[in-house]
Amino acid sequence: MKHFIFGRAKNIHIQFLRYFFVGGSASVVDLLVYSILITVVSTHYALAAFLGYMFGLSWNYVISIAWVFESRHNRLKEMLMVFSIAIGGLLWTWLILFLLIEFVGIDAIIAKIISQIIVLFWNFSMRKFYVFH
């Protein structure tokens, strides 16, 4: 348990568990911003998804470089790589939201939670194997 919490994690299983925890907290940030924009401000789900995703991404990146992954690149290159992967994750999010909301008729917030679960695997694998390998 001590190894899970403290020090650098080189083991992919420990990294995934840490990323799952960090991603969970970033998902809460993302979902909170999204939900407020949807319910209070009446923002369209696509714009709310973008803004929530960007807030969550920022939170995730800062905590991930401090606790999950070891940086292998200069900071600017790393940030550009993470941002590129995030664009892919955002596109997946939009596609999933569109399908679930427009075709299946699922509530926008439930659809967002489903999209977050699916996109988690995209974000982790792309960051692990292309940015922080």
What does pTM read for this prediction? 0.77
Confidence check: pLDDT of 9 > 70? no
- The closest alpha carbon to 123, from 33, 6, 14, 15, belongs to 15
- Domain residues of the chain, as ranges? 11-131
* Residue of higher predicted confidence among 76 and 32: 32
* Residue of higher predicted confidence among 17 and 67: 17
- Residue 124, Cα to own-chain centre: how many angstroms? 8
What integer pLDDT is reported at residue 74 of this predicted model?
73
What integer pLDDT is reported at residue 19 of this predicted model?
73
What integer pLDDT is reported at residue 56 of this predicted model?
92
- Mean pLDDT, to the nearest integer, of 9-15? 69
Residues 1 and 79: their CA atoms lie apart, in Å, by 30
Residues 1 and 130: their CA atoms lie apart, in Å, by 28
Residues 102 and 2: their CA atoms lie apart, in Å, by 46
Contact criterion met (CB below 8 Å) for 39 and 52 = no
Helices (H) and strands (E) in the chain, counts: 5, 0
Contact criterion met (CB below 8 Å) for 57 and 29 = no
- Highest average pLDDT, of 3-7, 52-56, 127-131, comes from 52-56
How crowded is residue 10: how many other Cβ atoms within 10 Å of its Cβ? 8
